Structure 1
Amino acid sequence: MNTFKKIEPLRAELLLQRQKNKKIGFVPTMGALHEGHISLVEKAKEVSDIVAVSIFVNPTQFNNPEDLKSYPRSVERDLGLLQNAGCDIVFLPEVAEMYGDQNDLKINFGALENSLEGKFRPGHFSGVGQVVSKLFNIFQPQAAFFGQKDLQQFFVIKKLIDQLSFPIDLHMVATKRENNGLAMSSRNERLNKEERLEAGLIYKTLQESAEAILNGIPLDQVVARVTELFKGSERLKLEYFEIIETDNFTKVSAISDPKKTALCIAAEIGKVRLIDNLLLNY
């Protein structure tokens, strides 16, 4: 496994691989890796000749400085996991390498960035679009792999690829979960045992809500039921629960196409913010 901290040597290696007609699969991460990230690497290995991973805690997508400061970092452990997973190339840039002296580019994703995560984290998706565009330009992969847990991010990246004409096949990989259904996340490391157990309510809520919708329960009743469930929780505070259309992430009042409908949720426990989702046609 080759590791790089600078852009130009990385580009030279990737160019050499492309000249050998090797297909490059790219997995961007912010480190603090877990089984969910490794599942992206494994999926990339299935359809790529060379699997490349970036580890970069991107400051432009954090609207809360404290969240950036407390984001978990475990580079040596991450490299061991990637080595065992069969990763070929790892990029570990510093902030100065990625952004230099200027860092003022903004990307507007329209309706996609004004709801749910975009509404609660202003500027977040502009930062995501900025760093992913740079990474796509550096790696020039044939395929890129993102987890379903960050569903809105996936569709932001899809819009980025479609509208900027990146020649990249985009793959969504199903969310990996802990035994109680809690979506695996780097943020879970900040939860204690009791908080992890109680956070299982998030996925349970999604499952029960999807079942209710498919059984014909009106959507407003489903939303009201979720609100009541979280009122009964000692630690979990519901931030939002919405039933949306994946084309633009706007709320729906009725289901027109289950294949384009998702249930999205965000909640806070122990000062840790968790998100999850369920595609209705799962």
Structure 2
Amino acid sequence: MSKSNHKNKSKPTSKGPPCFSEFGQKAKENYFNRGKEGRLLNCSCGRSTYTYKNANFDCRIDTDSKITGTLTLNEKFLSSTNTSASFSLPDYQSSKLRVRIRQEYAALSTSVALNKSPAITFSAAVGSSSIALGMETEYKTASSSFSKCSAGIYMKSLNSDASIILANKGDLLTASCVLYLNKQKKHAAVVEFTQKLSTKRNTLTVGGSYAVDHQTVVKARLDDHGEFKTVLQYNVRPKSCLAISGEFNTRAIDKIPKIGLALSLVL
């Protein structure tokens, strides 16, 4: 009998810590999808994805004649590195080049705006997939100054994701935690606390998400200022979503609630 080749197939190591931009991201996704809070009809009327070898190109056309494209080179192109370039028309000033490098115990990311006076953002995180420390800073070449500086800690377990972030040059403290209520992580409860240190203004928000079935998700949040927001997302087809949102202030029930509708269609 021939020798087994299993010994040559070692298990892959942990993917390492997340990038700093992912700290607290799960909380935002679960208690409310901020991308679906539009109060007016927002329709992505055309979106196409093309893949060739190690490159992926995604193009999107909205009803307001805005064209957005992203070219991504995955980790197979350059080990542990993900590179992407995005452009937007007619608002070409928002075009960016991003590079992310992930190792077993570190994650680095940088992005450069593709315009005459670019803002350069750099972030780094060290640790593991369970706990990590990170920081992010932004340098504006137009004013030769640092406009943003943030730092934080990220913690993850089988049933929860938590983070504490000090942003706005140390003036804004945000602590959030997501608790998954089932093994599939389709139901979640979330709490988020923010404090603006210069004014001592606090905001406590609780919320969560509930998957009714494989196509329908309901999300809601309520803060201590009385703002209640909810959204129902229905996946019409793979990568195509219809979202109906509503919001009102529980302390001003005499005011007319706001209703929103968003539709994203991938062709």
Fold shared, TM-score > 0.5 on shorter chain: no
Higher normalized helix content (fraction of residues)? 1
Identify the TM-score tier after normalising by the shorter chain.
Answer: under 0.3
Higher normalized strand content (fraction of residues)? 2
Please, what TM-score do these two structures have when normalized by structure 2?
0.23
Please, what TM-score do these two structures have when normalized by structure 1?
0.22
